[in-house]
């Protein structure tokens, strides 16, 4: 069954920790969607269960389109959103090592740095845990690495630079609120206003995100039930004696009764 995908955007490169500016230029000749998908398959050659593969392929196609837009620019809020969605999507994956390898292959296929994504997500999470609703919204009046990142986003979203809003950006915002224990609707209103982000777009995209997660949970439950059912069938078959064995056992018992 097809699972809806999330629209995303990003760009990544190692930086000093301030604001990373990486923008696609008009002279760039971007790879095709097929080339990006092929890069992913070359980087990760092991089979991926269809419940995960379907969503990953859809996300990769959509992220490719965002990645090579002329106005494309990476930011750490998007990175947090992407990492959050990826980790929730891949939760319960049979192998943690494979899950990490798939993440690296996915980001690398887009000519980006998976380590930068993880590092930025961790920094944003650590910062958000030390905030509350008021301090989260009041970032523009303070100095600091994360505050500078948020100020830069606000300026670009206002029209003073490249900014590509995405659903993963919306998820990143919500994750900041979750970690700061400030999920009241009014806090999100104020944060969107401070960042010059359309609140209606964020609300809409968060609804899509929640719907996707709900479908994924249901799909994973169905998959688990199927796997458990097949495992039980295999165990029952292995415990059932073969016809010849059953006859031999019966004849042996009958011989012992007669003697």
Has residue 94 been placed in a domain?
yes
Inside any domain, residue 200: yes
Separation between Cα atoms, residue 220 and residue 259, nearest integer Å = 58
**What pLDDT is attached to residue 241?**
60
- How far apart, in whole angstroms, are the C-alpha atoms of residue 1 and residue 142? 48
**Is position 4 within any domain?**
no
- Of 111-125, 183-197, 220-234, 240-254, least confident by mean pLDDT is 240-254
**Is the pLDDT higher at 93 or at 150?**
150
Average pLDDT over residues 126-143: 94
Residue 95 in domain: yes
Tally the domains of the chain: 1
- Which range of residues forms the domain containing residue 150? 33-234
48 belongs to a structural domain: yes
Residue 26 located in a structural domain? no
pLDDT digits (tens, 9 = 90+) for 87-98: 988 988 888 999
- Nearest CA to 69 out of 8, 152, 116, 5 is that of 8
244 within domain boundaries: no
Q: Assess if residue 8 is contained within a domain.
A: no
pLDDT tops 50 at residue 256? no
- Could you write out the DSSP letters of every residue in 194-233? HHT--HHHHHHHHHHHHHHHHHHHHHHHHHHHHHHHHHHH
Of 19-33, 61-75, 145-159, highest mean pLDDT: 145-159
């Amino acid at each position: 069954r097809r699972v809806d995908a999330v629209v995303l955007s990003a760009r990544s490169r190692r930086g000093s920790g301030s604001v990373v500016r990486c923008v696609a230029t008009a002279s760039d000749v971007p790879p095709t969607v097929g080339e990006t998908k092929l890069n992913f398959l070359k980087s990760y050659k092991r089979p991926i269960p269809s419940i995960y593969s379907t969503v990953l392929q859809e996300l990769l196609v959509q992220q490719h389109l965002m990645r090579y837009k002329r106005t494309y620019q990476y930011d750490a809020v998007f990175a947090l959103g992407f990492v959050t969605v990826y980790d929730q999507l891949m939760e319960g994956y049979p192998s943690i090592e494979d899950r990490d390898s798939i993440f690296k292959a996915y980001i690398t296929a887009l000519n980006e740095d998976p380590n930068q994504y993880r590092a930025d997500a961790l920094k944003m999470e650590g910062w958000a845990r030390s905030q509350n609703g008021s301090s989260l919204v009041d970032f523009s009046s303070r100095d600091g690495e994360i505050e500078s990142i948020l100020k830069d986003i606000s300026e670009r979203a206002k029209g003073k630079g490249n900014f590509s809003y995405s659903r993963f950006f919306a998820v990143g915002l919500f994750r900041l609120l979750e970690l700061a224990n400030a999920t009241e609707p009014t806090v999100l209103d104020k944060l969107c206003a401070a960042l010059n982000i359309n609140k209606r777009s964020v609300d809409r995209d968060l609804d899509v995100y929640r719907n996707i997660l709900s479908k994924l949970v249901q799909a994973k439950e169905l998959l688990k039930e199927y796997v458990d059912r097949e495992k039980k069938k295999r165990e029952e078959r292995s415990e059932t004696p073969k016809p010849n064995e059953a006859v031999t056992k019966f004849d042996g018992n009958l011989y012992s009764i007669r003697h």
